[in-house]
Structure 1
Amino acid sequence: MNLMNFIKMHGLGNDFVMVNLMQEELPGDLAALARKVCHRHYGIGADGMILILPSEQADVKMRIINSDGSEAEMCGNGIRCLAKLVYEYKLVQTPFITVETLAGIMGTEVILDAGDQVQGIKVDMGEPRLLPESVPVLLPGKQAVAQGLNVDGNRVEVTAVSMGNPHCVIFVPDAAAAPVTTLGPILEKHPAFPAKTNVEFVEIINPGEVKMRIWERGAQETMACGTGACAVIVAGVLNNKTQREAVVHLKGGDLKIHWADNNHVFMTGPAVVVFEGRYFL
């Protein structure tokens, strides 16, 4: 019987099955495998499966297969998990780790405490992409900021940002009461987003602090989304609602986001190893 060794990890409750393909061999249909592995009742249970591979361009390569079998370009919580794993398991010897993704090469820094224990991960998430064709979103203008979108005859004001994957940010008075599970799936597959989209519902507490809930493309509502938190602060600045450095409160915990003067967005947050196991293929 074939076995797959894995490590279960999470970043603020956004959970992943991590598989080291430098050591493991998997069947060709990774989409089908991810759907089985990520199933909450019949599998290990996760928002996605993250594959660690060798890279010719960076220290390691990351592939993210969502729980529905689709492949994501980038995952903020997932890349923090990957950086912690490859550092602690000595796949990479330095705390400064470059990661090849479908959204480009990402730089990560493993933050250590006085005892050399991993305290958190800081990720250079790169520059936000704001041109509609780069998101992609089918809205007019040079930036899709506070634009009205027709959703079943109702106007929804959205700001579209790409952090290597598409995001649709909506500002709401109360994140807890936001229609995440009803409006989220409609916007995810709205014709204005040809590659589908993640959808963020954001409550402004003050310019340095926001609450956010996320409907993730390919994974439904999750506890947290790193790229989404980055997109939210970019959208907050563009809409004159937040500072360039702010704390994003998510269901699973907090992320610190900084849209720096060099136009790069930096995300800092935790990553946790939950358990190791073997999955029968």
Structure 2
Amino acid sequence: MRIGFVKMHGLGNDFVVLDGRSEALPEITTTLAAALANRHTGIGCDQLVVLDGSDVADFRMRFFNADGSESGACGNASRAVGLLHGRPARIETLGGILTTEPSEAGISVDMGVPRFDWDAIPLGFAMDTLTMPVGWEDLVGPTAVNVGNPHVIFFTPDTDAVDLARIGPIIEHDPLFPQRINVNVATITSRSAIRLRVWERGSGITLACGTGACATAVGAMRRGLVDRRVEVTLPGGVLVIEWGTDGRITMTGPATEAFRGSFELSDYLA
């Protein structure tokens, strides 16, 4: 069985998109997703994205991390799929319904309403999520936000000075986070600008993370550190995040199609 794919990226955060709307797809198992994502023996990507039909939206979108685990949301992938779709769309995800719309600045995505309750993150036990009374080495007092998937954000004087490759997996797998966690380290540079690096749950350090930018911006806004519209600069580029008075987050940024191809399914089955 030969299956077509589209390789895309949003600010360097890259995806393999399988479109089940136009052809039948096999069951996407953890093993298959991880095999396709492998950069040495597979196609290679940060996330595998699978599209299929929906009874409640224009179509459904599923996200699989590089380790094969399924995620509820991915902002950069949502922009990429919005570009692929080519027109406004309502998309069903595990994190809820989101909408995408082409804009002059790329693709805008309505990421929905963030959640802050400790059990919505989720955390292992009750605590204040605005300034959490916890820390790991020099990273202390973070804030937590769920924007379809869980994020913890540390505000630091210099995000580049943090050894994220070492501390990221320690925090991701801490028992405080029963579903693991995405780890963000951010530096506020002005009332309208943030620099950010992200350790993504199940994928590691990536060039950009759309949900991380949303979570970090909202966390900074809750603390009064920035205004309600900010530019978030990641290693791969800039995203614009707005948190409206209606409580909904809008993320705007570019997306790019890199190439198309196909693979033989039997090559990736254990």
Pair 1:161–1:243, CA change in 2 (3 A) = same
Once the two structures are overlaid, the 10-residue window that deviates more, 17-26 or 34-43, is: 17-26
1: CA distance between counterparts of 2:123 and 2:193?
27
**Match for residue 101 of structure 1 among 93, 96, 117:** 93
Contact 1:137–1:160 (CA under 8 A) maintained in structure 2: no
**Structure 1 residue 176 displacement after superposition:** 1.2
**Match for residue 202 of structure 2 among 218, 231, 255:** 218
**Match for residue 171 of structure 1 among 142, 151, 155:** 155
In structure 2, what residue type is equivalent to 1:54? G
In structure 2, what residue type is equivalent to 1:26? L
The count of residues paired between Structure 1 and Structure 2 equals 265
Query: Partner residue of 2:114?
Result: 128
Pair 1:175–1:150, CA change in 2 (3 A) = closer
Are 1:201 and 2:193 an aligned pair? Answer: no
In structure 2, what residue type is equivalent to 1:74? A
Identity of aligned residues (%): 40
Query: Partner residue of 2:123?
Result: 137
Q: Which runs of 4+ in 1 moved over 4 A?
A: none
1: CA distance between counterparts of 2:5 and 2:100?
22
**Structure 1 residue 84 displacement after superposition:** 0.9
Query: Partner residue of 2:268?
Result: none
* Cα deviations by residue, 1:40-85 (Å, 9 ceiling, x for unpaired): 1111110011001011100110001111000000100011111111
Are 1:148 and 2:147 an aligned pair? Answer: no
Query: Partner residue of 1:7?
Result: 6
2: CA distance between counterparts of 1:148 and 1:16?
36
Are 1:46 and 2:38 an aligned pair? Answer: no
2: CA distance between counterparts of 1:138 and 1:273?
39
Q: What RMSD, in angstroms, separates the aligned Cα atoms of the two structures?
A: 1.5
**Structure 1 residue 29 displacement after superposition:** 4.7
2: CA distance between counterparts of 1:38 and 1:24?
20
The correspondence of residues 172-191 of structure 1 with structure 2, limited to 5 A, is 172-191=156-175
Once the two structures are overlaid, the 10-residue window that deviates more, 25-34 or 162-171, is: 25-34
Task: Look up the SS of the partner of 2:55 in the other structure.
Answer: coil
2: CA distance between counterparts of 1:233 and 1:83?
22
1: CA distance between counterparts of 2:23 and 2:196?
36
Are 1:58 and 2:32 an aligned pair? Answer: no
Contact 2:228–2:242 (CA under 8 A) maintained in structure 1: yes
In structure 2, what residue type is equivalent to 1:125? M
1: CA distance between counterparts of 2:214 and 2:132?
19
In structure 1, what residue type is equivalent to 2:132? Q
TM-score scaled by structure 1?
Answer: 0.90
TM-score scaled by structure 2?
Answer: 0.94
**Match for residue 162 of structure 1 among 131, 146, 161:** 146
1: CA distance between counterparts of 2:226 and 2:28?
43
